[in-house]
Amino acid sequence: MERTLVILKPDCVWRGLIGEIIKRFEGEKFNVIALKMFHLSVEEAEKFYAVHQGKEFYERLTGYMSSSPIVGMVLEGKKAVLRIRELIGATDPKNAIFGTIRNKYAINGLMNVVHASDSLESASKEITFFFKTEEIFHYQRREE
């Protein structure tokens, strides 16, 4: 079992897609084991996206991510890091495979609905960024 961090970005929240996107993840047998709404300050967004500092889209990205509330969650499941990245699709919806979340819902390469950790190492760091240990839970999925 792996854990990964997912953020439902401002465009997901303001278009009323929170439930739709969580439903996709739950439908693929991932458990939501932590869930919280945040409104990041610009400084927090800059810290979270520090790896992108200096890139031409950095200011737009941090301004956008701090523009309205977002939903952070930890998902748990088999090969969660890679599988969730596959489910969300490429960064730019023009390059995202048909049927992926970004292919279906992203507005453009900036407002692309969802963030997901890109490796086990970044998942661990990103989960710690948003959640305390006691805010993360564990349960078994039951079908009945």
Ligand X SMILES: Nc1ncnc2c1ncn2[C@@H]1O[C@H](COP(=O)(O)OP(=O)(O)O)[C@@H](O)[C@H]1O
Note whether 118 binds ligand X by CB under 6 A.
Answer: yes
For ligand X (CB under 6 A), the number of binding residues is 9
Site string (7-36) toward ligand X, x via CB under 6 A: ------------------------------
How far does CA 17 lie from the centroid of its chain?
13
Note whether 4 binds ligand X by CB under 6 A.
Answer: no
How far does CA 104 lie from the centroid of its chain?
16
- Would the annotation count 85 as a binding residue? yes
109 interface partner picked from Mg ion, ligand X, none, CB below 5 to 8 A per type: ligand X
The end-to-end CA distance of the chain, in Å, is 22
Q: How far apart are CA 26 and CA 141, in angstroms?
A: 10
Q: Annotated catalytic, 115?
A: yes
- Would the annotation count 91 as a binding residue? yes
> Which of the ranges 71-79, 107-115, 123-131, 134-142 carries the binding residues for ligand X, by CB under 6 A?
107-115
Residues at the contact surface with Mg ion, assessed by CB under 5 A: 118
Active site residues: 115
